[in-house]
Amino acid sequence: NAGVTQTPKFRILKIGQSMTLQCTQDMNHNYMYWYRQDPGMGLKLIYYSVGAGITDKGEVPNGYNVSRSTTEDFPLRLELAAPSQTSVYFCASSPERYNEQFFGPGTRLTVL
């Protein structure tokens, strides 16, 4: 199993551009999550999903959108990139609500 995979690994955007961060898991997990990690800070939850077709906001959802059309995929969309969205983004999945979460390798995004 590949676990949780994320693409791209690195990306530089200009202010106002849009992009989609991809996340795929092959463990058949129901729950999936998107976090951002700013330097020296704890991870913050952006959005999460409890199953295909169901998504909900986390702590810091502004400026982002998600969709969950399949169990495997949970893409994160940035519509109008801003410098404040410069961060490392992690996708994670877990089989049930309170189980261990498995993290992807992260996407480092810089908005200039």
Partner 1 sequence: KNQVEQSPQSLIILEGKNCTLQCNYTVSPFSNLRWYKQDTGRGPVSLTIMTFSENTKSNGRYTATLDADTKQSSLHITASQLSDSASYICVVSRVETSGSRLTFGEGTQLTVNP
Residues that bind partner 1 in the complex, under the rule CB under 8 A: 4, 31, 40-45, 48, 50, 56, 90, 92, 94, 97-106
Nearest to 24 by CA among 74, 99, 90, 94: 74
- Residue nearer to partner 1 on the CB measure, 14 or 42: 42
Residue 71 backbone dihedrals phi, psi, to 5 degrees = -65, -35
Distance of closest approach, residue 28 Cβ to partner 1, in angstroms: 17
Measure the CA–CA gap between 98 and 95, rounded to whole angstroms: 9
- Residue nearer to partner 1 on the CB measure, 81 or 106: 106
- Residue nearer to partner 1 on the CB measure, 7 or 18: 7
Measure the CA–CA gap between 74 and 25, rounded to whole angstroms: 9
